[in-house]
Each structure stands twice: as C-alpha cells, then as structure tokens.
Amino acid sequence: MGGPLLTLSGVAKRFGEVEALTHVDLDINAGQVIGLVGGNGAGKTTLLRLMAGVMEPTNGSILFGTEPVSTMRSKLGVVPESTGLYSRLTAWENIRYHSRMYGISDEVAWNRVSHFANRLEITDSLSRHTKGFSRGMRQKTALLRALAHGPDILLLDEPTAGLDVTSARTVRSLVGQLRDEGGTVIYSTHHLAEAQQVCDRIIIVHNGTIRADGSPSELLEMTGDTTLENAYVSLTSDKARPRNEDKSKDGRLSKWWRKFLTGSTPQIKEVGEDE
C-alpha cells in the first residue's frame, strides 16, 4: 500500500476550557488491529470520534488518504458503545436500513452480512425483532451493520463492554478474522489484557496525550518491564484527570453517532429503542 489509510497531524480537541486531546500525531496503516487503551477520561473516545469524522479537531488535520476524513465517512464502519438499534425492526431490517443509506443494494449487503453472521452465531436471529435481544445480540447486530457496506476501517468503542464471556470471545474472534482478511480495526478499550490479546499495535492514551505507541513487545522494551500491566503503570504514573473530556450532553452525543450511522436524522419513530 502506498501510504497510511488515516493520518492525524497535530490534532488537538478542546471543549470550552478543557483540553481533551493535545497534539496527536498518528498513522493508521492497513491490515492491523490497533488498540486505543486508556482509563475513563483519558481522551480515547474523543480520539475515536475524531477519527470517525463526527467531530472536527480544534487544531490539526485528519486525512483519509488525501481527503478530510469528514468527507470520507462511507469508508468507515463504526460500532459505538450504545448500539442504537431500532426495536421495531428485525436485525436484518436494521442492517438493511443502514446499508441503503450508503447506496448499497440489499443483495450486496446480505452477501456481506452472511459472510460474518455464521461466525457470530447470529444467522438464525437475523429475522427477529431486536426488542428482545440481549446485550451480546445487539452488539453482534451492530457489528454486522457496520460491516455491511464494506468499510476500509472498522472503529469499535468498547466492543465487549457488558458482554458475557462467550459473546466477548466471539467478538474478539471476528476482529481476528477481519485482520486475517486484510481489514483494519481500531479497537478502543480500557482493558489492557484484552488489547494484548487482539491487537497488533497498542496506543496508550492518558490525560489527553499519547504516552506510547507500539507492539506489545515494543512497549515492554520501551519501559524495561516484564508485563504490559507494569509497562502501562509506568507510562501513566501521573494522576488521571477527572472524566470531563466532553461537556456535551449525552443526547447530543447520541445524535452525533446516529447522524454518522444513518447519514441523516432518521424518520422512523424510535419508540422503545433498545438503548
């Protein structure tokens, strides 16, 4: 490949007086699972939203190839922590609705969904309404929705949060499959052990800055530690700031994600939406 898929140069983000991110420089290359690791309030979710193009940086630039990422969102697939499924629709109808927003035919979307549905053990549930879905089933449906239009980069925000052991393992297995097929995944988590298990490269975010960026073995070499947990503690020894990276109300953030996922304000009345 000629260059990185995604390039962040001098990226900073402020919310009023709060500086959520400070001078971030990153290159995201194809064919890797890249972990964004940090505690609550570290800035990793803000960084993920900037990469997704749903927020603009206060300073710096984010390019998908040579174009601003905000104009290339059809190349991205996003699974936010809140899945935002419509309970009155079946799993497949949720996926199809999303795919049509990207101009993807039902046949193409179905073929892509079928490719991964068996691995997620959700094929038999695609015709069910999502109202009664468990957290794990909703997360799997959201993953299929994000993959149906064939994105170049998949961004996952805490993809196994609240899942049972079996569902979490299935999600991690799918991430490995995507990498093996040449896909690129950005995987935000506050669990270092999970990042070590699934990620080729780990970016540690702390107090709005990038503290380290490398493979697990490179992080150990950088700090001289024998475990990643000790390496993480060494790199983030200063006191974590309060979780105030984003002063916006939850409703507004939900609208940002929904706008990304649908491309416009949905016309379906969201009575009994799962989240």
Which residue type is seen at 67?
E
Residue 59 has which token pair? Answer: 């300073």
Q: Give the alpha-carbon dihedral of 68, 70, 71, 77, to 10 degrees.
A: 120
Enter the CATH code of domain 31-59+73-260. Answer: 3.40.50.300
| Cα–Cα distance for residue pair 4/20, rounded to 1 Å | 25
> Measured in whole angstroms, how far is the alpha carbon of residue 236 from the centre of its chain?
23
Domain boundaries, the chain: 31-59+73-260
CB atoms within 10 A of CB 107: 8
**pLDDT above 80 (res 271):** no
Confidence class of residue 163 from pLDDT cuts 50, 70 and 90? confident
Ranges 62-66, 99-103, 223-227, 247-251: which has the least confidence: 247-251
Contact between 27 and 4 under an 8 Å Cβ cutoff? The reply is yes
Confidence class of residue 91 from pLDDT cuts 50, 70 and 90? very high
Contact between 226 and 61 under an 8 Å Cβ cutoff? The reply is no
pLDDT at 35: 95
